[in-house]
């Protein structure tokens, strides 16, 4: 008789190995979680068993919110939880305790006071038979109506209190639910990192819990809730928390010292600044002679031929149409002056930017110094750096070019660095193995391979320089930017649109020609 063996009673080596791995995984989860280990073992196994979202709910995370996140060293989640809870609690507090109509009521009181003053003045004018009595009476009536409207608005705002409290309560419940549903997922990701790096803290951090409590419930929540729920905060709170206690005299003193510094540099560096302006003016005058003074058929023919040879026949046809637009609408001379201004700025940007980019690509310490400067040049608003440009170089086209340099140079430097650092190491090693020196390596290997990135940087620099034409016209750079500026000043919509399209067509022509030279990105 054959012996029947139940398959369920047989433990294969694979099954035993799987059970051992599962047991080991559960032990790791328990070691990581420490507190409430059973919940996290179930939750982490559930999350790891699926590729998509699976529902888990952490009750303690839902109740404690930012405190739980801080205790588990999830500080990114702490700030999300804290800000979301704070927004909901503020709405709830405003609805329950806030004086929602305080601003409108204060406005109404001021209007009533002014109306009473006008009414008294009107009565006095009537007694004296003054000519402005009727006007004063009408003004008093208008102020009274405005005060009544303000009171109605205050009453409407107060009536919104229960609704606002309900919205805050619903938001708070929703935030708590989201906290409970996302907590296990966030902690599971930290568990994955902890398995690779055991220096990360496991379990509940007492320091993290204390820090979260101090930040949320001592520093952030009380001041914010007090600010939005109390109609008239205490004077000490307004002076030190609602408004930063800045000293205006200190600002005036610093500004005065800066003025003195600008005056000192302007006086002592006059020769240097004049030399820079002279050199830029020489370059600009040469370009204007070629583009503005040369007969337009010659200039147009040269531009169209360049477009044909570098970018193809379709770009050449577009170039003809765009140049015809500039010519027929009377923008030819100003467009060529703008292109000359742009050409001078772009030439200087490229002549300075590419060598700096090469230097930064070869030297990490140099790039560490140059990168903050590039960040400053790109993030500083254009109207701010116009101030030192005017102080040192005056107004006109050369200062406009210098202002354009600050805005237009960073792209060519950054993309030159990016292109040179992207050259494959094995290509450089092969060239050096065949005896290539540094000069050959740079000009025959690195620069050719980095050329697409460098040309993209040149293209971006040209377009960014062109985008500065309107701002540069504020300091006398003229060109098409002057037409746009006049249109803004006099609300001449048609003139502004036509000049804007002229700038657009200049940009598109240059972009297509440069892209045709560099090839597809």
CATH of the domain at 495: 1.10.3720.10
Q: Is residue 465 part of a domain?
A: yes
Exposure pattern of 440-477 as b/e (b: 16+ CB <10 Å)?
ebbeebbbebbebbbbbbbbbbbbbbbbbbbbbbbbeb
Token pair for 480:
């098409």
Separation of alpha carbons 32 and 402, rounded Å = 59
Let me know if residue 16 belongs to a domain. Answer: no
* Distance separating the N- and C-terminal Cα atoms of the chain: 78
DSSP code for 9: G
User: Buried b / exposed e across 360-392, counting CB within 10 Å, b at 16+?
Assistant: bbeeeeebeebeeebeebeeeebeebbeebbbb
Number of domains in the chain: 1
Give dist(CA 341, CA 344) in Å, integer.
5
HEC assignment per residue over 413-442? HHHHHHHHHCCCHHHHHHHHHCCCCHHHHH
Separation between Cα atoms, residue 367 and residue 373, nearest integer Å: 10
Task: Establish if 228 belongs to a structural domain.
Answer: no
Give the pLDDT confidence score for residue 236 in this predicted structure.
Answer: 65
- pLDDT for residue 415: 93
- Put simply, whether the predicted model's pTM sits higher than 0.85 gets the answer no
In a domain, 82, yes or no: no
Residues of the chain with confidence (pLDDT) below 70: 1-18, 20-22, 231, 234-246, 517-521
Helices (H) and strands (E) in the chain, counts: 25, 0
Note whether residue 86 is domain-resident.
no
Distance of alpha carbon 67 from alpha carbon 208, whole angstroms = 8
The answer to whether position 139 is within a domain reads: no
Nearest CA-CA partner of 413 in 326, 354, 332: 354
Query: Quick one: pLDDT at residue 485?
Result: 82
The predicted structure's pLDDT at residue 369: 92
Rounded to whole angstroms, how far apart are CA atoms 504 and 403?
Answer: 21
Does any domain span residue 72?
A: no
Q: Each residue of 425-439: pLDDT tens digit? A: 888 888 888 888 888
Question: What are the structure tokens assigned to 428, written together?
Answer: 């450089």
Question: Per residue in 205-229, pLDDT tens?
Answer: 899 999 999 988 888 888 888 877 7
The per-residue pLDDT for 14 is 57
Q: Is residue 301 part of a domain?
A: yes
Q: What is the pLDDT of residue 235?
A: 67
Q: Note whether 133 and 125 are within 8 A (CB).
A: yes
Task: Pull the structure tokens for residue 271.
Answer: 């020769």
pLDDT value, residue 338: 86
Domain range for 282: 271-518
């Amino acid at each position: 008789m054959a012996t029947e063996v139940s398959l369920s009673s047989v433990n294969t080596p694979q099954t035993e190995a799987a059970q051992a791995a599962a047991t080991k995984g559960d032990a790791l989860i328990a070691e990581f979680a420490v507190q409430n280990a059973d919940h996290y073992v179930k939750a982490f196994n559930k999350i790891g068993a699926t590729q998509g979202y699976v529902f888990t709910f952490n009750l303690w995370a839902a109740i404690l919110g930012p405190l739980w996140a801080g205790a588990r060293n999830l500080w990114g989640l702490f700030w999300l939880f804290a800000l979301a809870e704070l927004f909901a609690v503020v709405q709830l507090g405003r609805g329950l305790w806030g004086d929602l109509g305080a601003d409108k009521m204060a406005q109404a009181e001021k209007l009533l006071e002014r109306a009473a003053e006008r009414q008294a003045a009107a009565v006095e004018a009537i007694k004296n038979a003054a000519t402005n009595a009727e006007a004063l009476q009408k003004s008093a009536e208008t102020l009274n109506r405005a005060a009544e409207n303000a009171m109605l608005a205050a009453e409407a705002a107060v009536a919104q209190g229960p609704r606002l409290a309900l919205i805050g309560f619903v938001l708070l419940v929703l935030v708590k639910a989201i906290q409970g549903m996302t907590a296990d997922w966030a902690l599971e990701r930290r568990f994955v990192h902890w398995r690779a790096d055991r220096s990360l803290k496991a379990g509940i951090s007492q320091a993290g819990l204390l820090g979260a409590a101090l930040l949320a419930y001592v520093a952030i929540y009380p001041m914010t809730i007090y600010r939005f729920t109390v109609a008239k905060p205490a004077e000490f709170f307004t002076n030190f928390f609602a408004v930063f206690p800045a000293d205006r005299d200190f600002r005036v003193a610093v500004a005065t010292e800066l003025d003195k510094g600008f005056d000192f540099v302007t006086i002592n560096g006059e020769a240097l600044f004049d030399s820079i302006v002279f050199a830029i003016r020489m370059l600009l005058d040469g370009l204007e002679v070629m583009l503005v003074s040369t007969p337009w058929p010659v200039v147009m023919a040269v531009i169209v031929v360049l477009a044909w040879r570098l970018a193809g026949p379709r770009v050449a046809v577009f170039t003809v149409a765009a140049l015809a637009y500039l010519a027929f609408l009377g923008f030819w001379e100003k467009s060529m002056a703008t292109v000359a201004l742009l050409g001078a700025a772009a030439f200087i940007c490229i002549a300075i930017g590419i060598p700096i980019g090469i230097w930064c690509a070869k030297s990490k310490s140099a790039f560490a110094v140059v990168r903050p400067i590039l960040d400053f040049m790109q993030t500083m608003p254009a109207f701010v750096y116009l101030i030192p440009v005017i102080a040192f170089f005056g107004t006109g086209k050369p200062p406009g070019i210098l202002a354009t340099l600050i805005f237009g140079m960073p792209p060519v430097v950054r993309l030159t660095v990016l292109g040179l650092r992207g050259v494959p190491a094995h290509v450089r090693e092969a060239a050096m193995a065949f005896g290539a020196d540094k000069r050959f390596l740079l000009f025959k290997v690195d620069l050719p391979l980095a050329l697409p990135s460098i040309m993209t940087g040149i293209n971006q620099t040209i377009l960014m320089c062109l985008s500065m034409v309107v701002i540069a016209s504020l300091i006398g750079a003229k060109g098409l930017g002057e037409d746009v500026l006049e249109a803004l000043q006099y609300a001449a919509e048609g003139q502004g649109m036509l000049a804007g399209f002229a700038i657009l067509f200049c940009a598109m022509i240059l972009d297509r020609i440069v892209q045709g030279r560099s090839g597809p990105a």
